[in-house]
Amino acid sequence: MSKPKSKSSAPASASLCDTDNDSVCFSSDNVIMLIERITANFTTSFNLCVDKIVTAIEKKLDHRLDCQSSEIFELNKKVESLERQNKALESSNTQLNDRINHMNTKMESLISSMDDLDQYSRNTNLLLHGVPMIPSQDGREPNLTQHVVGILNSNMGLSIQESEITTVHRIGKPQTISSALSSASHQGASLTRPAPPFR
C-alpha cells in the first residue's frame, strides 16, 4: 500500500497572519511599499522644512541687505554734504587768505607811510648834547626854552626866537636836550655851520 501524500508546505512568500480575526496580514511586498511611502513622506516633509528654513533665511538676509542699503545711501548723502561743506570752507578760507594778504600789504604801506611822516616830522628836531643842568631850588629848570635859544643863537650864529621852538625837553642822559623848531630853515642853517663849544 502506498503511503498517503502529505499536504504541500506553504510557499516562501506566504503571508504572515495572526490568528486573531482582526489581525492584518503583511507580505514582504507590502512592507517594502510601506517603507517607501514612509520614506517619501519623510523626504517631502524634510524638503518642505528645508524650503521654509531657506525662505526664512533669505527673507532675513533681504531685510538686512535692505537696511544696509538704506544706511549706505544715507552715508553717501552725508559724505556728499560734507564734501560740499568742505569745498565751501576751502573757498571761504581762500577768500580770507586773500583778504589777509591784502590787509598785510595795506598795513605795510601804512607803516611805511607812518615812518615817512615820522621822519619828516623829525626834520625840525635838534639834539643838543653836553648841556649842563640849570640849578634851581625845586629841581626844575627855569625857562629851558630860553636857555636853548640862547645856546643856539650864541653858539651857532642864529637868530631864533622862543616862539619858533615848539617843544624842549631833556631825553636820555641828563645833558641831552631835544628841541623841535617850527621851521626847518634854522635847522639847515645850524647843520651847515660847525658848532663851537657851548659857552
pLDDT at 137: 67
- Tens digits of residue pLDDT in 112-144: 888 777 766 666 677 777 777 777 666 666 777
pLDDT at 113: 85
Burial class (CB in 10 A: 0-12, 13-18, 19+), 147: middle
Burial class (CB in 10 A: 0-12, 13-18, 19+), 199: exposed
- CA torsion angle 110 111 112 115 (round to 10): 120
**C-alpha grid cell, residue 75:** 552715508
Q: Is 89 helix (H, G, I), strand (E, B) or coil?
A: helix
d(CA 86, CA 61) in angstroms, rounded, equals: 36
pLDDT at 8: 43
What are the sequence ranges of the domains in the chain?
A: 28-123, 130-191
**Residue 173 dihedral angles phi and psi, to the nearest 5°:** -70, 150
- Tens digits of residue pLDDT in 46-63: 999 999 999 999 999 998
Q: What is the DSSP string of 117-132?
A: HHHHHGGGEEEEES-P
Sequential pLDDT tens for the chain (199 residues): 444 444 444 444 444 444 444 445 567 888 888 899 999 999 999 999 999 999 999 999 998 898 888 889 999 999 999 999 999 999 999 999 999 999 999 999 999 888 777 766 666 677 777 777 777 666 666 777 777 888 778 877 777 787 777 777 777 766 666 666 665 555 444 544 444 454 4
pLDDT at 15: 46
pLDDT at 161: 80
pTM for this model (two decimals): 0.35
